[in-house]
Amino acid sequence: MHSKKSNLNQYIINAIFIVISILFVIPILYIVSISLTSERDILEYGYKLLPTNVTANAYKYVFNNPWQIINSYGVSIFITVFGTLLSLFLSTMLAYTMSRKDYRYSRITSFVVFFTLLFNGGLVPTYILIVNYLHLKNTIWALILPYTINAWYVILLKGFLSTIPLALVEAARIDGASEVGTFFKIVIPLSKPALAAVGLLICFTYWNDWWLSLLYIDKTQIMPLQYLLYRIMANVDFLSRQAASSIGVNVKEIPTESLRMAMCVIAAGPMLILFPFFQRYFVKGITVGSVKG
């Protein structure tokens, strides 16, 4: 593809990207480094990119009284797993009916889905609907149901499903299969890669979401991780209260600065480490999806 390349250009470009990469990673390194620094070092030297003396003190505090973070992990995992399965299943069925050109109502269904991308009622009516009419405030469903059908993902899936030849569906019908049977036995097995790509996008939507909890949750029992992190950042007392609730802890001794960052590492770290393994699927879902379903 590129036969003769000037080496000098390559060196310059590599150098530029190495600088950019370092700049991109530094903010995250700070979080990790602060979480491993003792409170005394922070007060004396400020936040450092590399800790002068490494200490796991902040992590000890988290693990001494871990119920809040375990609880939030539980909430996040539940909404991600359950939400993704529900959303993927309903979205795929909906997208499949839109992709079937022989289906009498496929055009109108597509329009109903598509129109929501152009126009929406906005925050206030949605909020009032969910809080005053559906009574979902402070329930786990408020964190799942509003995202169950995302028009973008449906259209993305429709694009993938449209590539399945109609002849296969017709062959199944001649063999006496029902629509639902065809869907499960033929359509789903054929579209596994697409389902994996879109499923992963949905997964991240749920896992990274703070918006729904910001609106609808104020009970600590159903705080997902992202919202817990927001509360800790917005309100230092929240963190001290959590830590002090374990017996025999002096509030003044709590290493708030490093503890806050340790919570961030524990809450966000595992997913970040998994990211490179998922990246390939994301790239696939995103490059197709951004252009047109």
Q: Within positions 143 to 162, which residues make up the interface with another protein, using CB under 8 A?
A: 145-146, 148-149, 151, 154
> Any residues with CB less than 8 A from the CB of 219 and at least 6 apart, and which?
138
Q: Provide the β-strand partners of residue 70.
A: none
Which residues ranging from 262 to 281 are in contact with another protein (CB under 8 A)? 264, 267-268, 271-272, 275-276, 279
User: To the nearest whole angstrom, how small is the minimum distance from the Cβ of residue 111 to another protein?
Assistant: 9
Cα–Cα distance measured from residue 62 to residue 65, given in angstroms and rounded to the nearest whole number: 6
Residue of 193, 184, 199, 197 whose CA lies nearest to 81:
199
User: To the nearest whole angstrom, how small is the minimum distance from the Cβ of residue 207 to another protein?
Assistant: 9
For the chain, first and last CA: distance in Å? 29
When the beta carbons of 23 and 247 are compared against another protein, the nearer one is 23
The answer to the question of residue 120 lying near another protein (CB under 8 A) is: yes
When the beta carbons of 78 and 284 are compared against another protein, the nearer one is 284
Total residues at interface with another protein (CB under 8 A): 100
Among the listed ranges 57-65, 188-196, 207-215, 245-253, the one in contact with another protein (CB under 8 A) is: 207-215
The answer to the question of residue 204 lying near another protein (CB under 8 A) is: yes
The answer to the question of residue 219 lying near another protein (CB under 8 A) is: no
Q: Which two tokens stand for residue 260?
A: 């806050």
Cα–Cα distance measured from residue 196 to residue 219, given in angstroms and rounded to the nearest whole number: 33
Given 180, 189, 247, 250, the residue binding another protein (CB under 8 A): 180
Number of H helices, E strands in the chain: 15, 0
The answer to the question of residue 96 lying near another protein (CB under 8 A) is: yes
User: To the nearest whole angstrom, how small is the minimum distance from the Cβ of residue 289 to another protein?
Assistant: 10
Which residues ranging from 58 to 87 are in contact with another protein (CB under 8 A)? none
Among the listed ranges 54-62, 191-199, 206-214, 239-247, the one in contact with another protein (CB under 8 A) is: 206-214
**CA triple 81-96-202, angle to 5 deg:** 25
* Torsion sign across C-alpha atoms 205, 209, 211, 216: positive
Given 19, 81, 85, 129, the residue binding another protein (CB under 8 A): 129
Q: To 10 degrees, the CA torsion angle through 96, 90, 190, 293?
A: 60
194: left (phi over 0), alpha (psi -120 to 50) or beta: alpha
One character per residue 3-32, x = contact with another protein (rule: CB under 8 A)? --xx--xx--xx-xx--xx--xxxxx-xx-
Given 166, 171, 233, 251, the residue binding another protein (CB under 8 A): 233
